[in-house]
Amino acid sequence: MSLNPLNAISPVDGRYRSKTASLASFFSEEALIKYRVRIEVEYFIALCQIPLPQLQEFDSSKFETLRDIYKNFDAKDAEEIKEIEKTTNHDVKAVEYFIKSAFDKMGISQFKEFIHFGLTSQDINNTAVPLSIKEAMNEVYVPQYQEVLKKLQTMADEWADIPMLARTHGQPASPTRLGKEVEVFVQRLKEQFNLLNDIPSAAKFGGATGNYNAHQVAYPEIDWKEFGQNFVHDLGLYHSFPTTQIEHYDHMAALFDTLKRINTIILDLDRDFWTYVSMDYFKQRIKEGEVGSSAMPHKVNPIDFENSEGNLGIANALFEHLSAKLPVSRLQRDLTDSTVLRNVGVPFAHTILAFQSTLKGLNKLLLNKEKFEQDLENNWAVVAEAIQTILRREGYPNPYEALKGLTRTNDKINQQSIANFIDTLEVSDAIKNELKAITPSNYTGI
């Protein structure tokens, strides 16, 4: 059975394939194989540039032809490597044999034993995977994140002066402004995103147990630590040293933890806007032909925020497992990291789906300004804080208790009842006028 959106087990490769396809170039099996080929080829070129004595005669003009092996890599090449793997039962060894075959076709067979010289498979995997993550972050994640951030910043600016009744513990509280509440999310996201830039994309490169044993015994005169560091840096990665056979994954865990926090902020935003829609603060744009409910024709459900929340939950569960599991390995290595790393693209896919859904939900919002005004008008009790604070300033006796007596009743509190209360206060007319000028709509702070 050939894979298609209707028979795929995961919705990432099924229902949502069109929305996550951009990640296939970084996290699919074919992509992983291509990254491995890339590392092997670049490693051989780096050995030529030392140069090793046996590689001094290699024609450097052929370097770009070698790079074409991975630059022109396609599905047919990946299938060829998978066919080789059926015999080797080892994925990285199959890559090595594929490149050796390419060397044979290029007439440079005498150099092919240096393709994987001194390496273990994890030198390839623990360089290929961090590189794929870094490039996926730059080419897919960051543009999607920036779209969401740009939309939120636009909303914060557009609604900067819209007064809004705040709610703490679900109850009416000191008024705020809608734009400011959106700005809270903008700043939270920016601060966490800045932390991403401080996390190195770390790679391990150092032989079977991280000590360059094979390299050192063959060519003791070469500074292999410096070589490995330069090689990894030239790929745009940070060189972890010392290590065991595998990368210790601490930096990768930090990346996943930060991505998880960004997702948590988006999830928090999703729930707030879902609630604002339920409070009628926003209407939603209606798309011709869409059905909100199979039974209730009038409904326009905030499904985009709900979809986002669900995908963020799945993404964070997987990021949590990756960040907790990857840094733990028995002695110098076990295979559990390899198993879970094959799933690293899945939380990215659910994150991208969530970002797209959040953005779609935000773009549907239509401000219902009348509802904001109505809520403020119905909650004049919230100006009690302002009145009692000014009374404190004036040295008025027991101001909190006086306002408590006024507001903590079941009687209707409105502009008139507040004004009547102010008239009973033993303060100057100037202070009374100052107090009467305070309304729920203008008591919004800075």
**pLDDT (tens digit, 0 to 9) for every residue of the chain, 446 residues total?**
777 888 988 999 889 999 999 999 999 999 999 999 999 999 999 999 999 999 999 999 999 999 999 999 999 999 999 999 999 999 999 999 999 999 999 999 999 999 999 999 999 999 999 999 999 999 999 999 999 999 999 999 999 999 999 999 999 999 999 999 999 999 999 999 999 999 999 999 999 999 999 999 999 999 999 999 999 999 999 999 999 999 999 999 999 999 999 999 999 999 999 999 999 999 998 765 455 554 444 457 899 999 999 999 999 999 999 999 999 999 999 999 998 999 999 999 999 999 999 999 999 999 999 999 999 999 998 998 899 899 999 998 888 787 776 766 666 889 998 998 899 888 999 999 999 999 999 999 99
Q: How far apart are the first and last CA of the chain?
A: 62
Is residue 365 within 8 A of residue 284, CB to CB? The reply is yes
- Residues counted in the chain: 446
* Residue 396 burial by Cβ neighbours in a 10 Å radius (0-12, 13-18, 19+): middle
Residues annotated catalytic, as ranges: 169, 293
The tokens for 369 are 């300004």
Task: Report the candidate in 364, 337, 350 with the shortest Cα–Cα distance to residue 310.
Answer: 350
Is residue 366 within 8 A of residue 424, CB to CB? The reply is no
Q: What is the dihedral of CA 91, 96, 99, 101, to 10 degrees?
A: -100
